[in-house]
Amino acid sequence: MNRKRVALVSGGNRGIGLAIVEGLAEQGMTVLLGCRDLAEGQGIAKTLTGDVQAVELDLATQQSVERCIGQISFSYPLVDILINNAAILDDSEFSDLTYDKLVESMHVNTFAPFLLSQHFGALMAKNGYGRIVNVSSGWGASSGLLDSPPAYGLSKSTLNALTRITAQANSGNVKVNVMCPGWVKTRMGGAAATRTPFGAAKTALWLANLEDDGPTGKFFRDNKEIDW
């Protein structure tokens, strides 16, 4: 490849996403820091080393996602790597969970990654190269689902299924995998968490740089395959 690879990271303004952005930039890529608040993203990008460009990426609705996809594709028609990292955690118990809260979780955590993967995956297939990495959770695995807040577990379990379906739909040199970062010291994970964002980002960075004979349609933690 004679040009720098271009990577798009959703939720790249903090936590695991920011660690992934920094890691990919250190590898010499052009990294698109996806952030709902473009001004905030631009401010963060200015503090980072490497070729990091902030782009608006609002995952709240189908319309906002499609609008942002159009803007990103206009400026960066070739995206080689997509990291679906952004997520929300609704901790409502089942009895208190409203339909609207469930839909919001499903949209940000699953439907938006579907829209992004469908669009950029098609372009990757056309270009003959692509890596899609979905950031899920152990709560999305069947063994952890019942320990999870319902909206979060449902959305991440569906993201895992989406990964397998997307991988099957993208043959050739487009690799689609999902990862569990573990319990991470972020705004979502809390101060008591046992892992740093940089430690959690390592698996995403590995999956973003898989060799052509690398795995696809698999679930990983710490670079090792785990059960669905």
pLDDT digits (tens, 9 = 90+) for 65-84: 999 999 999 999 999 999 99
Cβ atoms 8, 81 nearer than 8 A? yes
Give the confidence band of 145 by pLDDT, cuts at 50, 70, 90: confident
Out of 99-113, 160-174, 191-205, which region has the weakest mean confidence (pLDDT)? 191-205
CB 137 within 8 A of CB 152: yes
Q: What is the pLDDT of residue 126?
A: 95
Averaged pLDDT, 166-191: 81
- Identify the three-state secondary structure at position 179: strand
Q: Among residues of the chain, what percentage have pLDDT more than 70?
A: 93
Mean pLDDT across 31-47: 97
| Least-confidence region, from 12-26, 54-68, 143-157, 206-220 | 143-157
CA angle 67, 69, 74 (to 5 degrees): 100
Q: pTM for the whole thing?
A: 0.93
Rounded average pLDDT over 21-35: 98
Q: Which residue has the higher pLDDT, 22 or 197?
A: 22
Q: What is the pLDDT confidence band of residue 187, given thresholds at 50, 70 and 90?
A: low
* pLDDT score at 191: 65
State how far the Cα of 201 lies from the Cα of 180, in Å rounded to an integer. 10
Q: How confident is the model at residue 183 (pLDDT cuts 50, 70, 90)?
A: low
What's the rounded mean pLDDT across residues 99-115?
A: 97
- Is residue 185 over pLDDT 60? no
Average per-residue pLDDT for the chain: 92
- SS3 of residue 6 by DSSP: strand
Q: Is residue 26 pLDDT above 80, yes or no?
A: yes
Q: How many C-beta atoms lie closer than 10 Å to residue 74's C-beta? A: 8
Q: Write the single-letter amino acid at 31.
A: V
- 153 is written with which tokens? 């577990």
With tokens 């942002």, the residue in question is 68
- Which letter does DSSP use for residue 76 in this model? -
C-alpha 174/C-alpha 141 separation (Å) is 24
Q: Is the pLDDT of residue 31 over 90?
A: yes
Give pLDDT, residue 194.
60
Query: Listing from the earlier edge strand, what are the strands of the sheet with 51-56?
Result: 51-56, 30-35, 6-9, 81-84, 130-135, 174-179, 219-221, 224-225
Report the SS3 class of residue 118: helix
According to the model, what pLDDT value does residue 195 have? 74
Residues 116, 161 contacting (CB under 8 angstroms): no
Where do runs of H (alpha helix) occur along 76-196? 99-106, 112-127, 150-169
